[in-house]
Amino acid sequence: MGAIDFIIRQKGTDANNAYTTAVEEAIEEYGNDAYNGTISTTSHLFDVTKQYRESKRSKEDFIHDILDRASKRTCYCIEEKAPVKNESKIKSKVEHNFVKGASKWDLYYNVYAGWDDSIFVKALKTKTDAVKWAREYTEKHKVNTSIIMVKILTNQDPVVARVKYKQSSQEKEGTYILFGLAAD
């Protein structure tokens, strides 16, 4: 398999955010094939903004010189326009959801799997049903399971508050040039 060069201009809050966004867009458009010839096949990001500015060379010449000696699956970045950060003292807003009346709760027995019990598998109404179901699941899939008792709020919205990011009017994303050699 070979390599193909790419040059992308991407906005982001910083270089890593711009890179992540470009990778996600490439995967969405071209799939997740390890040899699709896009930025999504790269695994390293190197910020060469300082070297570019110190070189006093044109962007095109600087980029092409790096591409001539670049390794496959490597991505480089030049900050073209710096982001403007949010300098506000308060950067979030809280919206409270006030609950009226008595809360009604239902008890469930949740079955979790995985080495750290992080995979939710099923919710059942009784412990007996949960144990029976978890045993069948464990024997079929050869994984350990755990049963955790939880209360679920059933007669109202369980969200009591939302915290939202409060963007500054001066805040802006930066612009980055991402380039490198993709696997093809």
Q: What is the pLDDT along the chain (184 residues), one digit of tens a residue?
A: 678 999 999 999 999 999 999 999 999 999 888 888 899 999 889 999 999 999 999 999 999 999 999 888 899 999 999 999 988 898 999 999 888 888 899 999 999 998 788 899 999 999 999 999 999 999 999 999 999 999 988 888 888 899 998 988 889 999 999 999 998 8
Domain holding 140, by residue range, is 98-158
Domain for residue 90, yes or no?
A: no
* Dist. CA 19–CA 9, nearest whole Å: 10
Which helix (H) or strand (E) covers residue 52, if one does? helix 49-55
Domain for residue 56, yes or no?
A: yes
Domain for residue 111, yes or no?
A: yes
pTM of the model as a whole: 0.63
Q: Decide: helix, strand or coil at residue 109.
A: strand
Number of domains in the chain: 2
DSSP state, residue 131 = H
Which helix (H) or strand (E) covers residue 174, if one does? strand 174-183
Question: Could you tell me the strand order of the sheet in which 145-153 lies?
Answer: 119-124, 105-113, 145-153
Cβ–Cβ < 8 Å for 131, 147: yes
